[in-house]
Amino acid sequence: MKELFYVVVLDHEDNVIDRAQTVGFPKEEEIDAALDRNISMGYNPEDITAKVDKRYGKE
């Protein structure tokens, strides 16, 4: 059974703005897709980052 991971997208103040669940460790394309989705919604690419976590968002 594969583990669940989350691609968590954060704004410049480390607030969670988006999450995407993946089965198994996400591929780079899945991380890029999460960032691209938020850029297309109007976020500045310089103001957002993505991290991979096993928890749903940050603590």
Grouping H, G, I as helix, E, B as strand and the rest as coil, residue 46 is helix
Ramachandran angles phi, psi of 2, nearest 5°: -85, 150
Task: Please give the radius of gyration of the chain, using alpha carbons only, rounded to the nearest integer.
Answer: 11
The pLDDT-based confidence of 55 (bands split at 50, 70, 90) is confident
Rounded Cα distance between 26 and 18, Å, is 15
The reported pTM is 0.83
Q: What are 2-17's pLDDT values in tens digits?
A: 789 999 999 999 999 9
